[in-house]
Structure formats: C-alpha cells, structure tokens
Structure 1
Amino acid sequence: MSGTKPSQARTVGEALIDLLAANGVEVVFGIPGVHTVELYRGLAGSTIRHITPRHEQGAGFMADGYARVTGKPGVALVITGPGLTNTITAMAQARQDSVPMLVISGVNRRNSLGQGRGLLHELPDQSAMMKSFALASHTLVDPAELSAVIAQAFAIMGSSRPGPVHIEVPTDVMPLPAGDVALRPTVPARPGADAATLERLAALCDGATRSVILCGGGAVSAGAAITALAEKLDAPVVLTTNARGLLARHPLRVPASPSLAAARTLIAEADLVIALGTEMGQTDYDMYADGAFPALMNFVRIDIDALQLSRAPRADLAVLSTVEAVVAALLPRLTARIGNGAARAKSAREAAWNGLSAKIRTEIEIIDSIYLALPDAIIVGDSTQPVYAGNLYLDIDRPLSWFNAATGFGALGYGPPAAIGAAIGAPGRPVICLTGDGGFQFSLAELGSAVDAGAQVIFLVWNNDGYQEIENYMLECGIEPEGVKPSAPDFAAIAGAFGLPALRLADMAELGPALAAAAERKGPSLIEIHQTRTRGASAN
C-alpha cells in the first residue's frame, strides 16, 4: 500500500496504484511525465515494480509479452497525447491477439477537455479516439468512481474475450482526495453453456466418426481437458500459432497451420469440426489469402465472445462459454469412439511437412535447435522469415512458449520489448527474441531497457539485409523491389555499447553452445545469424 497514509488521506493517484496491487498487479511498464507524476507518488511506495522502456510503444509491447506468459493483465502507464498515441500500436496488437492489457494515461484538466486551447499534449478527443478500438475507455472525472472504474476494467479483461482497456485520469483529478476506497480484487464472471446446449453438442460428438478439433490461443489453459476430449473422440487436433505446445508429443496433435493444404484436407474430410477458442482469422486460416479454406460439416464453435460466434465461418452450433467449462461438462456425457485419429493426424503432419519448401524446413529446424539447446525456452518473435516458417509448422513441448507479432495486427518491432515483458513475467526461463534486422531497428533502443531491467533475454537476430519477405513478394507480383533494403547497423557493436555480450555466428553448429552460454549469464545478450554468410542458415 502507498506509504502509511490513512485510507481517506490518499490521493486518487495513490489509491489507483493501491487498487492495481489489490487486483494482483506486480509490474507496470511506463515512462513518467508531468501528466502522470501524481500516479508515481503512489507507485514509489507500493509493492509494484516499475519497468522503464525507451518508447511508450515498448511499454505496450512489454505489457503484452508479460500478459501472455503470466495470464494476468499487462499494465502500462503513459502520458496523455503522444505517450498514448505511441502505445496505440501495441494496444491494437493486443486487441487482435486477445491479450489482456490495461493502459492508464493522463489527460489534461477537466475544464480544458474538448476546448482546443493548445495545452501541452492536447488531443481533440482522446477518449473518443481510444473507444474506436479499445474494449473500453473511461475518463475518471469523479474520485468517487475510482473503485468502480478499476473493477470494471478488470471485469472486462477477465470475463469475456481479453484485450486492451483504457482509463484516463485528468491531471486535476489525480491529486484530489480519493476518499474511502475498498481494496478488493475484482472477481470476473465467466460464461458457461447450459445443459440443453451440452446435450446437443454431445449428440453431435456421438454421431461423428471423423472428428477434428481446432485449437486457438483461447484454449491453452484447458490443455489436459482438451487432451481428454481428443482421446475420447479419437480426433486429430490442429493447433494454430498461439496454441502450439498443446498435446505435446501426443499422436493426435497436428502442429501445422490450417492455411496449409494438408491441414485443410484433414479438416475438409471431417464429419464434425469443433473450434475451441479460436478467432478463425485470416492469419491462421487463410494466410495466403487464397480463399480456399474448406466448407465445414457440422461446425461447432466454442468461444467466450458472443460477437465472435456470430462471425464467419458461421457455426451450426455456437456455444458461449470458456473452453474449460464446456469441455469439463461435456466429457462425462460422451462415449469413447474409434475414429482412426492417430493415423489421420500422422498423415496430416507428414504431408504438411513434406509440402514445405527446403528453405522453410531449414528455418524450422533452426527453431527446433533452439528448443533442443534450451528446452524450457520461450521464443518471442517479430515479423521475420524464420517466424513465418514456425507459424506454418512447429512442434513444441509446452504451450505459451511460442508467440509473435506475425499474426493478427502484425506490428514490426514487437519482438524485443515483448520478450523483455515475457522475461519479467517468467523469471528463470530463458527468453529468446527472434527478430529480423529490419524489424529489430523499430525497437533497437529497448536493448537498454533489457539491461536496466536485468531481463534474461537472448536477442537472436536473423539478418537477411533488409525486408527479404517483402522483396520476395514484390518479385512474385512482378513489381521491381523498392524500399526493401534499409541498411543495418553493426548489431554486435550496438549491443556492446549497451553492455551486452554479442556474437556473430560463422556456422549454425555454433548456435547450441552459444545459446547455452548466453543462458548461463545474468542479463541480456545478443547472437546474430546472417542468412547467407552463416553456414547452414539457408538451404539455398
């Protein structure tokens, strides 16, 4: 709690921090300014750790990475105006990937809002801007509303599909007396299916002989139950990017993108398709935008978001519930079936792998070598070629150990700050930031943030001399490449300037020992791989 002040003597800024702590917040990411200093009055005496990025976009991405590995909302504190607009990209990524994020910003004094007086950091209507994409945005104009506003924010993030929530506090409200604030955590209310819906779902399951299960990021917390369901239905389980690691080494797993022909064939031949916690979005199901995802027979969607259930592809049965609740209630209603599931899954895995190019298989094997060297690693990716390859096919042993910004919103520069957030949220586990030379330059300064935070991050830079993926796409479209060769700095020299040990690999055989050595050190380090100059990095 904030110092030793009696509860009624606390300011709004101090009480807000105490309410965050009461809701389990242990870390916030932010850059202080004159529009948030009254929040920092409460922060300095609290139990909450503060991490300072080099840019507010980094604060948002750090909050994202932290939330993904902990399951708790990531929290960012930013100033009004440019601080908040800098954070919008990270919030949009969180919205697309269903990541709980609470962004608390300042805003100018109440009597100036909407007046256009040319105040520092003024926006015409900051809250209206945020309401266009945040799950909710609230302006705290009355101190008496503070407890309810914080409770509402945590209820929104915990009760339905997660995403970013914004609260703005006017500078003249922050220092006001907060009054008597009850420091109670918010208990979210989560939906569950009714008995009639469960019976209908059980009947569909018992009538099927070739079931397939699709798992998205909303399913990862129900791993054991999903394994039991897959075994009872004898159903292959297709894992999207954010679900990789479920059913680890299980014969029913299919760790291949449903954008691949082999996975689509498996799905098309099914007489029941059950989608668990997946948006069914383009970057997972139609990555190449060919419109060839198959029509589905007896399609069931289970999702926590009612609006998502109404979107295409339309379900024959839509179930509004958490995945955990439905699967736990469904299992006792089912009889075990034999659907040749293991053989169908094996065929899909092999066909998916064999359908990939030699270049992509080589890049996946490099990712595999990272997990071989550091089995407990979390790999946080940016938009770069090996990450695209891993999103197509990657077989790993633990959920929440592979995530990146090459899905959904697709923001470059995500990897470095998100990896720092992940390292803060999962101390003791090695975190690998897999980033390209182009994307790394979007957030290169966050190397300093990693040093300051003592974050155990290994920055693994895939250097292909520019935006190689975009260059290839231009060539495929018959467009002369332009703007795809930004010059790269000497990454090892920059790492050294920040005090990080750095190594350029001459041969991919050096990667395992280099990773093991980096994992033994305290704090961050950097390893650079060049696609053409590092032997074994490319099949070409």
Structure 2
Amino acid sequence: MTTVGEELVLALRDRGVEVVFGIPGVHTIELYRGLAESGIRHVTPRHEQGAGFMADGYARVCGKPGVCFVITGPGLTNTITPMAQARADSVPMLIVSSVNRLASLGKGLGHLHELPDQHGLAASVAVSARQVLAPAALHDTIDDLWRSTTEARPGPSHLEVPIDLLEALHEAPARAVAAPRPQKSRDGALVEQAARHLGAADRPVILAGGGAKRAEEALRGVAEALDAPVIQTVNARGLMHRHPLIVPASPSLRPVRDLIAGADAVLAVGTELGPTEYDIYATGEMAPMTGLVRIDICPDQLSRVDARISIAADAAAGLDGLIEFLPADRTRLDRGGSERAADARQAAWSGLEPDMRMAVDILETLRQGVPGAIIVGDSAQPVYAGNLYYDHDRPGGWFNAATGYGALGYAIPAAIGAALAAPEEPVICLTGDGGAQFSIAELMTARDEDLPIIFLVWNNHGYLEIEKAMRAAEVSVVGCDPTPPEFAAIARACRIPYQACTATPADLARTLSELRASGDGPVMIEIDAR
C-alpha cells in the first residue's frame, strides 16, 4: 500500500514525466518518499522561481509539461511569476505544492507558511488549479489537470495537496492513465471556405505565431501554395530558415506593418495578435488585416479578435486542411510573394538603429559559431534586437521573456531546463548583467548537472534600455546603474570556465571557438558592451 505522496509520484511517472524541478522542504517530504525509486530525475534549483523557469524552458523544448515540486506558502508564491510567464506564452507546466493541514485551511491560525487562500492565489494565474481533499480523488484530479495543461491551449496548472493527505494511505486500486480526449476535428466546410478565400487573393500574407513552431512542413506548404510572405512573431522564429518567403522581423516594425496592411487576405496561425508582438511601440493601433483568417487551438482566443473566418484547430492540422483545398499545380503561381518578403526584410533591416544592427550581427555570429543552437534570452539589448529582426536556424530554438509577460531573470534557469530537455543539443543563454543578477545562483545548478550551456552575459553596466526610455520621456534617470558583480569571480566560484571579449563579431567568434574546446560542461562569456 502506498501513501498519497507516493501515488502522486507514480501517477506523474506513468504520464511520461522524466524530470521534476524542486527544493525539498518539511512540507513536501512525503512527495519525496517514492521519488528516488520512481526513476524520475530530480533537479534542485537555488530558488523556486528558478524551478518554475527551468520547467518553462524544459517544456518549450520537448513539448511535455515541465513539473515542479514546491512547498506551502513561499514555495508556491515564488513560482507565481514563472506561471504567469508560461500562461502568457502558452507553455505547459504543472506546479505541485503542499498546503497546510486540511482542517486548518482558511482559519488564519498562524501555521508555518500559511496564506489566507493559497489555492485562490494560484487559481488567479493558472489555467487550472485543483485541490486534493481526499485520497480517493487523487487520480481524477491529476487527470483533469493533465488535460487542462496539455490539451487545447497549453498553460500552467497547479495541484495542491494538504500535508496530512500527502502522508495518508492511498487505498484505491491502481488504475490506468486516462486516455487523452480526442481533439475536435476541424470544420471541413470552414477550411474549404478559407482555402478558397486565400487562394483568390492577389497579395496574401501569413502571420505565424508560437502555436505554429511544430508545424514547419505544413506552414511551408501553405506559404508556397499561396506564394505568401510569412511574418514571424518571436516564438515562431527559426521556422523556414532562409526561405525566400520568410520575414523574420517584428510585425510592429513599420515596413512589416505596411506589408500586412497591403495584403488583401491575411492568414494568422497560432498567434494571439497581442500588443507585445504587434504594437510594441504602444501606438494603440495594429496594422489593418483585410480578409483575416485565423487558425488557433483555443476557441476563447479566436473570439477575442474579429475575423472573416475562424478555425479552431491545432496549427498543423489546420494548415494540412488548407493544403487539401489549394491548387495542386503551383508551378505557374506568381503573386510576387518572394519580392514582397524581400522588400519587407530589407526595409525592416534598414530601419533598425545602428546599435540594434550591431547586436543582430552578434546573434549571426552565435548562429554561425554554434549551428542549430537553442538560444534562450532575457530582457537584454541583443535579445531586443533579435526580437526585432533575426532569422534563427532551428524551429523553437529562439525564445525569451522579453515579450509576453516580460519577466526578468528568466534566461539562466530556462536555459537549464532547455538543456535537460535536449541533452544532445547546444544551448546558449543570452542575458544582460541586470537580468543575470536576478537568478545568478542557478549557475550552480548548471554546474551540478554538468550541462553544456554557453552563458553569455551582455554587460553594459546597468539597465541601458530603461535609461533610454526614461531619457526619451524626459524623466531624470534614477536607479538604472546597479553595479554588476565581477562575473569572472562568479564563474570561478561556480567552477565554470570563463572568458571575456569585446562586442565585435570577430572577437566573439574566436572566444566561442576557444571555450567550446574547453570541455562539455557550462562555460561563461562576458561581453563588454559599454
């Protein structure tokens, strides 16, 4: 006979969980009773926020939910920020927390780690939050949460178990994992209508969001069938690398807005059409989208923006459906798609400020020096530049927290999660000196796990982008010059090889080559960007 805590671990294992991120505490000891025997790998961050960001990076790379074990109270509140980032970017995550004894909940008796309403707090951020109030309810509750986390639009979920229930005996018989509910099939009549509408257009344009990042083949097929430029949001970068129809530039840039506005039909796939992608300069307006067709897995999302045709479907399924109704003979099709895409690319590049173009050159050097890398970013100047314009060479290989919810301190722990999800793939963490200080302790987690991550610190000795914004607003600059630590000393303390270089492509290329030859574990490069 097992305890509820042991049964919970087995239930996660049976759902394919291979890694959990967490910091043990007195309120979660019963979760750890069966963990060592389960075969699930436990990774210990230095802070629960790091655990959440690790789970996020892990999920983005492998597509399976990232799972965290956290304690009552502060353990849960420390993961709220990662949960919010995951919700904004549709990342599947399951946070499992303890809570005080069942009979004490809501009574304000002053127990250790007590919150007025821990469940309500988590529910305000999670796509689904559930409590286990009796041992027999465990499996049904996990089934419901797993479906909420993985089916339809993914996101973070929260499972809360009182500490006295974690140690209680689980007397229910073992049972099979519930089968996934079949996804609703796409509406064939709507898909055919959309295909005819798009096929009749003279200047179609495609907007690809993060929901399309695992649908590259289908996206390419539709783009080529329509001869339509494909504009990528941040989370779609890496799709169709160097394809003549790709526009790897922010839809907030004026030339890209003009391309959208000039279209007579727009296909938006797996994108919420939100302002952090389409109106980052806060103009209050987005480019007009004539004849808009949307494909999105989330019906609620589809209802938030008026469209001519809305198709509730997974990106790959929706795009495959369109291909079925588009002309098979595309050899004579010429709507000027490649030329329109090239013009937009050139105009977008030319419109960037010189410092942004310089930062993109740095990114190009990284891509050439470490082909096929997963680049995980924080809010730092080269990440901002890449979000404006950068063509990555791997679908799903460029993601960061400089959009969506916009949490600082994301890159270091998320890169650790990414490296655990894809142990054979190169991972680059791109952070600024400010963002690094939010989560610098997690470098020791990378060292403990011996992960081959390149930690690249862009050190401009302050919050340069905030300083620029304050000056532009004619506000006296205050608080933007926190003194950075000696990163060489930090690397040495963490037993991580370190080199410094200048913010030039040639110097970075040399440094990359030298450090990559130093071994398979984590390394650090500090770029002096002053």
TM-score range, shorter chain: over 0.9
Report the CA distance shift for 1:111/1:391 in structure 2 as closer, same or farther (over 3 A): same
Deviations 1:494-527 (A, max 9, x none): 1101111111114632312322333341221111
Q: Which residue identity lines up with residue 361 of structure 2 in the other structure?
A: E
8 Å contact kept, 1:192–1:326: no
8 Å contact kept, 1:23–1:185: no
1:10 aligns with 2:2: yes
SS at match of 2:478: coil
Name which of 256, 260, 263 aligns with 2:256: 263
User: What pairs with 1:114-513 in structure 2 (closer than 5 Å)?
Assistant: 114-178=106-170, 179-184=172-177, 186-312=179-305, 314-335=306-327, 336=330, 337-506=333-502, 508=504, 509-513=506-510
1:48 counterpart residue number: 40
Report the CA distance shift for 1:365/1:153 in structure 2 as closer, same or farther (over 3 A): same
Q: Which residue identity lines up with residue 350 of structure 2 in the other structure?
A: N
Q: Which residue identity lines up with residue 435 of structure 2 in the other structure?
A: G
1:531 counterpart residue number: 529
Report the CA distance shift for 1:74/1:320 in structure 2 as closer, same or farther (over 3 A): same
Report the CA distance shift for 1:506/1:251 in structure 2 as closer, same or farther (over 3 A): closer
CA distance in 1, matches of 2:251, 2:314: 22
2:100 counterpart residue number: 108
8 Å contact kept, 1:271–1:297: yes
CA-atom RMSD, angstroms? 1.2
CA distance in 1, matches of 2:323, 2:237: 23
Q: What's the TM-score, normalizing by structure 1?
A: 0.95
Deviations 1:33-56 (A, max 9, x none): 011110101111111100000000
Deviations 1:460-480 (A, max 9, x none): 000111100000000000011
Q: What's the TM-score, normalizing by structure 2?
A: 0.97
8 Å contact kept, 2:241–2:392: yes
CA distance in 1, matches of 2:313, 2:503: 49
Report the CA distance shift for 1:448/1:188 in structure 2 as closer, same or farther (over 3 A): farther
Deviations 1:82-127 (A, max 9, x none): 0000000000000001100000000011101101110000011111
1:270 Cα deviation after fit? 0.5
8 Å contact kept, 2:363–2:382: yes
8 Å contact kept, 1:381–1:404: yes
Mean CA deviation greater in 499-508 or 61-70:
499-508
8 Å contact kept, 1:56–1:87: yes
1:149 Cα deviation after fit? 1.2
SS at match of 1:76: strand
2:25 counterpart residue number: 33
Q: Which residue identity lines up with residue 350 of structure 1 in the other structure?
A: Q
1:183 Cα deviation after fit? 4.0
SS at match of 2:34: helix
8 Å contact kept, 2:71–2:99: yes
8 Å contact kept, 1:460–1:529: yes
SS at match of 1:449: helix
Report the CA distance shift for 1:185/1:22 in structure 2 as closer, same or farther (over 3 A): farther
8 Å contact kept, 1:383–1:410: yes
1:5 counterpart residue number: none
Percent identity among equivalent residues? 54
Q: Which structure 1 segments of 5+ residues have no match?
A: 1-8, 533-540
What is the number of residues matched between the two proteins?
A: 523
1:252 Cα deviation after fit? 0.6
SS at match of 2:214: helix
CA distance in 1, matches of 2:477, 2:150: 45
Mean CA deviation greater in 422-431 or 104-113:
422-431
